[in-house]
């Protein structure tokens, strides 16, 4: 089962966990939660982070990644929930859940999904600090991590 959600709503990990645990066949569920970082020492706190996406295409890219992970690690289920729109420090940006018969597959597939989605799915971040908005530049480190999965 592949479940992909992209929207402005707050992410509810407990509800998503309940859904994926209900899929038969799993002995392990791995999870990753990404947060809007609270970064007090860096030119003032990020008052607002905004995420923009390409409606339809972003969802299809995430579904394709979940399918690739499901095929590679024989997952019973994969979930990606990604927020878009304005959000505040400490809030959840992204939730990845992977379920498999055994823990190694679930953990590896979860790490794969979060590394790949950073470069394969069309999202763009804009930070506002002290009233000044800037678009976040991609990091070479992220591209290298994603490429490492082959």
Partner 1 sequence: MNILYFAWVRERVGVAEEDVAPPPEVATVGALIDWLAARSGGHAAAFSERGRLRAAVDGCFVGPDAPVGYASEVAIFPPVTGGAA
Beta carbons of 102 and 28 less than 8 angstroms apart = yes
Enumerate the β-bridge partners of residue 79: 3, 97
Binding mask 80-109 for partner 1 (x = CB under 8 A): --x----------xx---------------
Categorise residue 87: left if φ over 0, alpha if ψ from -120 to 50, beta otherwise: beta
Binding mask 34-73 for partner 1 (x = CB under 8 A): xxxx-------------xxxx-xx--x-------------
> Rule CB under 8 A: which of 1-40 touch partner 1?
34-37
Taking CB under 8 A as the rule, does residue 135 contact partner 1? yes
DSSP state of 150: -
Question: In angstroms, what is the minimal distance from the CB of 105 to partner 1?
Answer: 21
DSSP state of 74: T
User: How far is Cα 7 from Cα 13, in angstroms, rounded to an integer?
Assistant: 15
Question: In angstroms, what is the minimal distance from the CB of 132 to partner 1?
Answer: 14
Taking CB under 8 A as the rule, does residue 78 contact partner 1? no
Q: What is the 3-state secondary structure (H, E, C) of 113-137?
A: HHHHHHHHCCEEEEEEECCEEEECC
Question: In angstroms, what is the minimal distance from the CB of 62 to partner 1?
Answer: 9
Contact residues: partner 1, CB under 8 A: 34-37, 51-54, 56-57, 60, 82, 93-94, 114, 117-126, 135-138, 142
């Amino acid at each position: 089962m592949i479940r992909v959600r992209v929207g402005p709503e707050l992410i509810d990990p407990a509800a998503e966990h309940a859904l994926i645990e209900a899929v038969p066949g799993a002995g392990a569920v791995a999870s990753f939660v990404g947060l809007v970082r609270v970064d007090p020492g860096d030119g003032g706190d990020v008052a607002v982070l905004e995420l923009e996406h390409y409606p339809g295409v972003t969802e299809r890219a995430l579904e394709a990644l979940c399918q690739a992970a499901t095929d590679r690690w024989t997952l019973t289920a994969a979930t990606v929930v990604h927020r878009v729109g304005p959000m505040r420090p400490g809030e959840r940006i992204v939730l990845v859940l992977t379920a498999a018969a055994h823990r190694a597959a679930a953990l590896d597939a979860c790490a794969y999904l979060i590394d790949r989605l950073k470069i394969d799915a069309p999202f763009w971040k804009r930070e506002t600090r002290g009233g000044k908005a800037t678009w976040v530049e991609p990091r070479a480190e992220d591209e290298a991590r994603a490429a490492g999965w082959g």
